[in-house]
Amino acid sequence: MAKRILIADDEPNIVASLEFLMKQKGYEVRVVDNGKDALDAIASFTPDLVLLDVMMPAVGGYEVAQQVRANPAWAGIRIVMLSAKGRDVEVSKGMAVGADAYVTKPFATRDLVAKVKELLGE
Amino acid sequence: MNGGPAIIVAALAYLGLLFAIAYYGDRRADQGRSLIANPYIYALSLGVYATAWTFYGSVGRAAADGVGFLPIYIGPTLMMVLWWVVVRKIVRISKGNRITSLADFVSSRYGKSALIAGLVTLIAVVGIVPYIALQLKAIAGSYTLLVSHHDAGLVAHHQTVPVLADTAFWMAILLAVFTILFGTRHLDASERHEGMVAAIAFESLVKLVAFLVVGVFVTYGVYNGVGDIFSRAAEHPRLSSLFAPLGGAAGGYVNWAWLTLLSMLAIMFLPRQFQIAVVENVNERHLTKAVWIFPLYMLAMNVFVVPIAFGGVIHFGDAGADPDSFVLTLPMAHGQEAIAMLVFIGGLSAATGMVIVETIALSTMVCNDLVVPILLRTRATYVAAQKDMTRLLLAIRRGAIVAVVLLGYLYFRLAGEAYALVAIGLISFAAVAQFAPAVIAGIYWKGATRAGALAGLSAGFAVWLYTLLLPSFAKSGWLPASFVEHGPFGVELLRPYALFGLAGFPEITHAMMWSMIANIGALCVVSVMTRADLAQQAQAARFVDVFRHADGEHALPDWKGRASIPDVEALLARFLGRERAQSALEAYAQRRGFRSLRELPADAGLVQFAETAMSGAIGGASARIMVAATLSEDAPSMEQVMAMLDEASQAMAERRELEQKSRELTAATEELRAANVRLTELDRMKDDFVSTVTHELRTPLTSIRAFSEILHDNPDIDTAERQRFLAIIIQESERLTRLINQVLDLAKLESGRAEWRVVDVDVPAVVRDAADATGQLFSAKEVPLDVRIATGIPPVRADRDRLLQVLINLLSNAAKFVDAGTGRVTVDVGRDGGNVVVGVTDNGPGIAADDRAIIFEKFRQAGDTMTGKPAGTGLGLPISRQIVEHLGGRLWVENAPGRGARFAFSVPACADGSTAVPPAEPARVR
Amino acid sequence: MKTPSTSTTARLAVLFAIGLVAFNYPVIALFDRAATAFGIPVLYVYIFGAWAALIALVAAIIGRP
What residue spans define the domains of chain B? 4-114+138-148+185-363, 434-555, 559-636, 654-747, 756-908
Q: Look at residues B605, B587, B610, B607 and name the one whose alpha carbon lies nearest to residue B597.
A: B587
Contact residues, chain C, for B284 at CB < 8 Å? 1
pLDDT of residue B389: 66
The answer to whether the beta carbons of residues B799 and B758 sit under 8 Å apart is: yes
User: Hey, are the CB atoms on C4 and B84 less than 8 Å from each other?
Assistant: yes
- Give the architecture-level CATH label for domain B654-747: Orthogonal Bundle (1.10)
Q: Do chains C and B touch (3 or more CB pairs under 8 A)?
A: yes
Q: Is it true that the peptide bond before A47 is cis, omega within 30 degrees of 0?
A: no
Binding-face residues of A in 79-98 toward B, CB within 8 A: 84-85, 87
User: Hey, are the CB atoms on A106 and B868 less than 8 Å from each other?
Assistant: no
User: Chain A residue closest to B699 (CA)?
Assistant: A84
Distance of residue A105 Cα from the nearest chain B Cα, in angstroms: 6
| Span B462-486, average pLDDT | 82
**Candidate ranges B397-406, B590-599, B684-693; pick with highest mean pLDDT:** B397-406
Assess if residue A109 is contained within a domain: yes
Assess if residue A121 is contained within a domain: no
Within C4-62, residue ranges assigned H as helices are 6-22, 27-30, 42-62
Secondary structure (DSSP) of B502-535:
--SS-HHHHHHHHHHHHHHHHHHHHHHHS---HH
**Looking at the complex, does the CB of residue B284 fall below 8 Å from at least one CB of chain C?**
yes
Q: Say which CATH superfamily domain B756-908 falls into.
A: Histidine kinase-like ATPase, C-terminal domain (3.30.565.10)
Residue B899 pLDDT > 70:
yes
User: Hey, are the CB atoms on C54 and B295 less than 8 Å from each other?
Assistant: yes
**Looking at the complex, does the CB of residue B651 fall below 8 Å from at least one CB of chain C?**
no
Residue B699 pLDDT > 70:
yes
The answer to whether the beta carbons of residues B50 and B301 sit under 8 Å apart is: yes
Eight-state DSSP code of residue B576 = H
Q: Look at residues B689, B682, B731 and name the one whose alpha carbon lies nearest to residue B859.
A: B689
Binding-face residues of B in 319-358 toward C, CB within 8 A: none
**Looking at the complex, does the CB of residue A31 fall below 8 Å from at least one CB of chain B?**
no
pLDDT of residue B152: 47
B410 C-beta neighbours (distance < 10 Å), count: 16
What would the pLDDT profile of B72-112 be if each residue is shown by its tens digit? 999 999 998 888 788 889 998 888 777 888 998 998 888 77
> CA dihedral in degrees (B296, B301, B303, B304; nearest 10)?
170
Contact residues, chain B, for A85 at CB < 8 Å? 691, 694-695
The answer to whether the beta carbons of residues A107 and A9 sit under 8 Å apart is: no
At B870, the pLDDT band (50, 70, 90 cuts) reads low
More confident residue, B349 or B164: B349
A107 closest CB neighbour out of B702, B721, B725: B702
B253 C-beta neighbours (distance < 10 Å), count: 16
Residue B53 pLDDT > 60:
yes
What would the pLDDT profile of B118-174 be if each residue is shown by its tens digit? 999 999 999 999 899 989 888 888 888 888 765 445 554 555 667 777 778 888 998
Q: Per residue, what are the HEC states of B704-762?
A: HHHHHHHHHHCCCCCHHHHHHHHHHHHHHHHHHHHHHHHHHHHHHHHHCCCCCCEEEEC
Contact residues, chain B, for C58 at CB < 8 Å? 80-81, 291-292, 295
Q: In a 3-state reduction of DSSP, which class is residue B474? A: helix
Question: In degrees, to the nearest 5, what angle opens at C-alpha A24 toward C-alphas A20 and A27?
Answer: 95
Distance of residue C57 Cα from the nearest chain B Cα, in angstroms: 9
User: Hey, are the CB atoms on B732 and A13 less than 8 Å from each other?
Assistant: yes
Most distant CA atoms of chain C, gap in Å: 49
Contact residues, chain B, for C59 at CB < 8 Å? 291-292
pLDDT of residue B923: 43
The answer to whether the beta carbons of residues B45 and B193 sit under 8 Å apart is: no
Rounded Cα–Cα distance for residues B463 and B473 (Å): 15
Burial of residue B676, with CB atoms counted within 10 A of its CB: 0-12 exposed, 13-18 middle, 19 or more buried: exposed
Residue B518 pLDDT > 90:
yes
More confident residue, B673 or B2: B673
Distance of residue A17 Cα from the nearest chain B Cα, in angstroms: 6
Q: Is the dihedral of CA A104, A108, A114, A120 positive or negative?
A: positive
Distance of residue B874 Cα from the nearest chain A Cα, in angstroms: 15
Rounded Cα–Cα distance for residues B865 and B843 (Å): 20
At B380, the pLDDT band (50, 70, 90 cuts) reads low
Most distant CA atoms of chain B, gap in Å: 175
B658 Cβ contact list (under 8 Å, min separation 6): none
Q: Look at residues B834, B832, B836, B828 and name the one whose alpha carbon lies nearest to residue B896.
A: B828
| Span B480-496, average pLDDT | 76
Q: Look at residues B312, B347, B328, B309 and name the one whose alpha carbon lies nearest to residue B69.
A: B309
Element (H, E) at B880: helix B876-886
**Looking at the complex, does the CB of residue B257 fall below 8 Å from at least one CB of chain C?**
yes
Q: Per residue, what are the HEC states of B805-851?
A: HHHHHHHHHHHHHCCCCCCCEEEEEEEECCEEEEEEEECCCCCCCCH
**Looking at the complex, does the CB of residue B684 fall below 8 Å from at least one CB of chain A?**
no
Residue B501 pLDDT > 90:
no
Distance of residue A55 Cα from the nearest chain B Cα, in angstroms: 9
User: Hey, are the CB atoms on B244 and C2 less than 8 Å from each other?
Assistant: no
pLDDT of residue C5: 65
Distances, alpha carbon B812 to alpha carbons A81, B804, B885, in Å: 34, 12, 20
More confident residue, C64 or C8: C8
C43 closest CB neighbour out of B67, B80, B296: B67
B243 closest CB neighbour out of C12, C34, C55: C34
C51 closest CB neighbour out of B74, B231, B234: B74
Contact residues, chain B, for A61 at CB < 8 Å? none
User: Hey, are the CB atoms on B256 and C36 less than 8 Å from each other?
Assistant: no
Question: In degrees, to the nearest 5, what angle opens at C-alpha A49 toward C-alphas A45 and A52?
Answer: 95
Residue of C7, C30, C36, C54 best to disrupt the B interface, most CBs of B under 10 A: C54
Residue B553 pLDDT > 50:
no
B451 Cβ contact list (under 8 Å, min separation 6): B526, B527, B529, B530
What would the pLDDT profile of B567-626 be if each residue is shown by its tens digit? 777 777 766 777 778 888 888 888 777 777 777 776 767 777 777 776 555 555 556 666
pLDDT of residue B436: 94
Residue B295 pLDDT > 90:
yes
B257 closest CB neighbour out of C24, C40, C63: C24
Q: Look at residues B509, B508, B97, B510 and name the one whose alpha carbon lies nearest to residue B500.
A: B510
**Looking at the complex, does the CB of residue B403 fall below 8 Å from at least one CB of chain C?**
no
What would the pLDDT profile of B821-853 be if each residue is shown by its tens digit? 888 889 999 988 888 999 999 888 888 887 788
Secondary structure (DSSP) of A58-95:
SS-HHHHHHHHHH-GGGTT-EEEEEES---HHHHHHHH
Residue B551 pLDDT > 50:
no
pLDDT of residue B525: 93
Q: Do chains C and A touch (3 or more CB pairs under 8 A)?
A: no
> CA dihedral in degrees (B607, B610, B612, B613; nearest 10)?
170
| Span B381-402, average pLDDT | 76
Rounded Cα–Cα distance for residues B375 and B377 (Å): 5
User: Hey, are the CB atoms on A85 and B710 less than 8 Å from each other?
Assistant: no
CATH number assigned to the domain comprising residue A103: 3.40.50.2300
pLDDT of residue B549: 56
**Looking at the complex, does the CB of residue B854 fall below 8 Å from at least one CB of chain A?**
no
Assess if residue A122 is contained within a domain: no
Chain CA centroid to CA A22, Å = 12
Residue B63 pLDDT > 70:
yes
> Domain containing A84: what range?
4-116
User: Residues in chain A with pLDDT < 70?
Assistant: none
What would the pLDDT profile of B332-341 be if each residue is shown by its tens digit? 888 888 888 9
pLDDT of residue A106: 87
Number of domains forming the structure of chain A = 1
Q: Which chains touch B (3 or more CB pairs under 8 A)?
A: A, C
Assess if residue A72 is contained within a domain: yes
What percentage of chain B reaches a pLDDT higher than 90? 25
B253 closest CB neighbour out of C29, C44, C59: C29
Q: What is the mean pLDDT of chain B?
A: 82
Q: Look at residues A59, A58, A11, A9 and name the one whose alpha carbon lies nearest to residue A30.
A: A9
Residue of B684, B702, B710 best to disrupt the A interface, most CBs of A under 10 A: B702
More confident residue, B588 or B242: B588
Contact residues, chain A, for B725 at CB < 8 Å? 16-17, 20
| Span B683-704, average pLDDT | 83
Chains B–C, number of C-beta pairs less than 8 Å apart: 108
Assess if residue A69 is contained within a domain: yes
Binding-face residues of B in 64-103 toward C, CB within 8 A: 66-67, 70, 74, 77-78, 80-82, 84-85, 88
The answer to whether the beta carbons of residues B799 and B832 sit under 8 Å apart is: no
Residue of A25, A53, A81, A105 best to disrupt the B interface, most CBs of B under 10 A: A105
Q: Which chains touch C (3 or more CB pairs under 8 A)?
A: B
What would the pLDDT profile of B782-835 be if each residue is shown by its tens digit? 888 889 888 888 889 899 999 999 999 999 888 888 888 888 889 999 988 888
Residue B250 pLDDT > 50:
no
Residue B385 pLDDT > 70:
no
| Span B441-449, average pLDDT | 88
User: Hey, are the CB atoms on B81 and C36 less than 8 Å from each other?
Assistant: no
pLDDT of residue B207: 94
Element (H, E) at B28: helix B4-31
